[in-house]
Amino acid sequence: MSYTNFKIETDADGIALVTWDMPEKSMNVFTQEVMDELDAIIDQTTADAAVKGVVFTSGKSSFSGGADLSMIKSMFTLQAEEKKNDPANAAQKLFNLVGRMTGLFRKLETCGKPWVSAINGTCMGGAFELSLACHGRVASNSKSVKIALPEVKVGIFPGAGGTQRVPRLTNTQDALQMMTTGSSLTAARAKAMGLVHEVVEPEKLIEAAKAMIKNGLKAVQPWDEKGFKLPGGGVWTPASAQLWPAASAILRRETYGNYPGAIAILKCVYEGLQVPFDTGLKIEQRYFTEILQTTEAFSMIRSLFVSMQELGKGARRPAGVPKSEFKKVGVVGAGFMGASIAYVTAAAGIPVTLIDRDMEAAEKGKAHSEGLVKDSVGKGRLTKDEGEALLARITPSADYGDLKDAGLIVEAVFEDRQVKKDVIEKVEAVIAPDAIFASNTSTLPITGLAKNSKRPEQFIGVHFFSPVEKMMLTEVIVGKETGDKALATALDYVAAIKKTPIVVNDTRGFYVNRCVFRYIHEAYDMLIEGVPPAMIENAAKMAGMPVGPLSLNDEVAIDLSQKILKATVADLGEKAVDTKHMALVNRMVDELDRRGRKNGKGFYEYPAKPAKKYLWPGLKELYPQKAADKVDVEVLKQRFLATIALEAARTIEEGIVTDPREADVGSILGFGFAPYTGGTLSYIDGMGTKAFVALCEKLAKGYGDHFKPTPLLKEMAEKGETFYGRFDPYGAAQRAA
**How many domains does the chain fold into?**
3
The type of residue at 294 is T
User: For 347-358, what is the mean pLDDT?
Assistant: 95
What is the pLDDT at residue 737? 38
463 is catalytic: yes
CATH number for the domain including 682? 1.10.1040.50
What is the pLDDT at residue 736? 37
Length of the chain: 737
Has residue 268 been placed in a domain?
A: yes
What is the pLDDT at residue 111? 97
User: For 666-685, what is the mean pLDDT?
Assistant: 96
Has residue 711 been placed in a domain?
A: yes
592: burial class by Cβ within 10 Å (0-12, 13-18, 19+)?
Answer: middle
Are residues 501 and 519 located together in one domain of the fold? no
From the CB of residue 716, how many other CB atoms can be counted at a distance below 10 Å? Answer: 24
Three-state SS for 17?
strand
Are residues 542 and 657 located together in one domain of the fold? yes
Three-state SS for 462?
strand
Has residue 48 been placed in a domain?
A: yes
Three-state SS for 501?
strand
Confidence of residue 469 (pLDDT cuts 50, 70, 90): very high
What is the pLDDT at residue 733? 40
Has residue 623 been placed in a domain?
A: yes
Three-state SS for 215?
coil
Q: What is the DSSP string of 379-441?
A: TTSS-HHHHHHHHHTEEEES-GGGGTT-SEEEE---S-HHHHHHHHHHHHTTS-TT-EEEE--
282 pLDDT more than 80: yes
- C-beta of residue 397 within 8 angstroms of C-beta of residue 353: yes
Residue ending a domain, among 487, 508, 529, is: 508
User: For 22-38, what is the mean pLDDT?
Assistant: 93
Confidence of residue 575 (pLDDT cuts 50, 70, 90): confident
> What pLDDT digit, counting tens, does each position of 301-334 carry?
999 988 998 999 888 999 999 999 999 999 999 9
Are residues 653 and 708 located together in one domain of the fold? yes
What is the pLDDT at residue 196? 97
> What pLDDT digit, counting tens, does each position of 88-129 carry?
888 888 888 889 999 999 999 999 999 999 999 999 999 999
Distance CA(339)–CA(550), nearest Å, equals 28
What is the pLDDT at residue 275? 95
Are residues 504 and 517 located together in one domain of the fold? no
Strand partners, 410: 331, 438
User: For 596-605, what is the mean pLDDT?
Assistant: 93
Are residues 499 and 554 located together in one domain of the fold? no
The type of residue at 533 is P
What is the pLDDT at residue 735? 38
Residue ending a domain, among 266, 293, 320, is: 293
Q: Which helix (H) or strand (E) holds 503?
A: strand 500-505
Distance CA(564)–CA(571), nearest Å, equals 10
Distance CA(735)–CA(737), nearest Å, equals 5
Are residues 538 and 398 located together in one domain of the fold? no
138-161 core/surface letters (b: 16 or more CB in 10 A; e: else):
bbbbbeebbbbbbbbbbbbbbbbb
Are residues 607 and 637 located together in one domain of the fold? yes
> What pLDDT digit, counting tens, does each position of 60-70 carry?
999 998 888 67
211 pLDDT more than 60: yes
Are residues 484 and 528 located together in one domain of the fold? no
Has residue 130 been placed in a domain?
A: yes
Q: What is the DSSP string of 661-675?
A: HHHHHHHHHHH---G
Distance CA(75)–CA(94), nearest Å, equals 8
CATH number for the domain including 359? 3.40.50.720
pLDDT mean across residues, the chain? 93
Q: What is the DSSP string of 567-603?
A: HHHHHH-GGGS-HHHHHHHHIIIIIT---BGGGTBSS
Which of 135, 463, 521, 581 does the annotation list as catalytic? 463
Has residue 637 been placed in a domain?
A: yes
Are residues 487 and 538 located together in one domain of the fold? no
Distance CA(413)–CA(425), nearest Å, equals 13
What is the pLDDT at residue 84? 80
Are residues 571 and 648 located together in one domain of the fold? yes
Are residues 258 and 399 located together in one domain of the fold? no
From the CB of residue 578, how many other CB atoms can be counted at a distance below 10 Å? Answer: 16
> What pLDDT digit, counting tens, does each position of 44-80 carry?
999 999 999 999 999 999 999 888 867 777 777 777 7
Confidence of residue 732 (pLDDT cuts 50, 70, 90): very low
Report percent pLDDT > 70 for the chain: 99
Distance CA(291)–CA(284), nearest Å, equals 10
Report percent pLDDT > 90 for the chain: 82
Q: By residue range, what is the domain housing residue 417?
A: 329-508
Has residue 299 been placed in a domain?
A: no
Has residue 105 been placed in a domain?
A: yes
Distance CA(160)–CA(157), nearest Å, equals 9
**Helix and strand counts by DSSP (H, E) for the chain:** 31, 18
Distance CA(58)–CA(20), nearest Å, equals 5
The type of residue at 555 is E
> What pLDDT digit, counting tens, does each position of 121-179 carry?
999 999 999 999 999 999 999 988 999 999 999 999 999 999 999 999 999 999 999 99
Are residues 284 and 347 located together in one domain of the fold? no
Query: What value, to the nearest 5°, has the Cα angle with vertex 144 and ends 108 and 115?
Result: 15
User: For 587-608, what is the mean pLDDT?
Assistant: 94
Residue ending a domain, among 508, 539, 560, is: 508
Please state the separation of Cα 661 from the chain's center in Å.
13
Closest to 441 in 3D by CA, of 472, 468, 410, 418: 410
